[in-house]
Amino acid sequence: MGPVIVITGTPGTGKSSHATRLVEESPVPLQHINVGEWVKERGWYEEFDEEWQSYTVDEDKLLDELEPIVAGGGIILDWHTCEVFPERWADLVVVLRCDHSRLWERLEKRNYPLKKIQENNEAEIMQVVLEEARASYPPEIVVELKSESTEDLEANIGRIVDWIVAWKRDRASE
């Protein structure tokens, strides 16, 4: 059984890129769940907000469906928010951060509406996701990582892989 890792951050910070690479390089098998995609594919939402171009998630349905999957371990939950996940689920919470001007460019390339770019940029500047993570989980499992370049991605994956090795070693000695 592998750990449950939450990779979170403002949209555009590289969550899915990190999760995909981590699945490839992890010393234990991990399944990547892009929560936003799952919500859309499985209809775990209440409505689509045209103004914000986003879904209003049915959190009860989401958690009910994820519970048995997460209980098996070996999961990466990739989502722009994390406080919805019960504290008991997470072994590690990785909050990806990006300079707001770089983030703005990334979101423009995704053709996000201006209002959504502004909101996400403000959230990044105000450290909203980081503060949510710190308020929702024990400080020793929340890690803030810079995600602005390929070099950052490589370093971050190496650091998380090292953490997984230590996690696995700690479990073997129990």
16 annotated ligand binder: yes
Tokens representing 14 are 């590289």
Q: Is 26 annotated as a binding residue?
A: no
Alpha helix (H) residue ranges in 26-174: 35-42, 59-71, 100-109, 114-125, 128-136, 150-172
| Cα angle, residue 105 at apex, residues 101 and 106 outer, rounded to 5° | 115
* Residue 15 labelled as part of a binding site: yes
Q: Is 102 annotated as a binding residue?
A: no
Judge whether 110 is annotated as a binding position. yes
User: In whole angstroms, how far apart are CA 140 and each of 15, 54, 62, 92, 136?
Assistant: 20, 32, 26, 9, 12
Measured from the Cβ of residue 20, the count of other Cβ atoms closer than 10 Å reads: 15
Residue 166 to residue 128: CA distance in whole angstroms = 29
SS3 2: coil
Which residues does the annotation place in the binding site for ATP?
A: 12, 14-17, 110
Which residues does the annotation place in the binding site?
A: 12, 14-17, 110
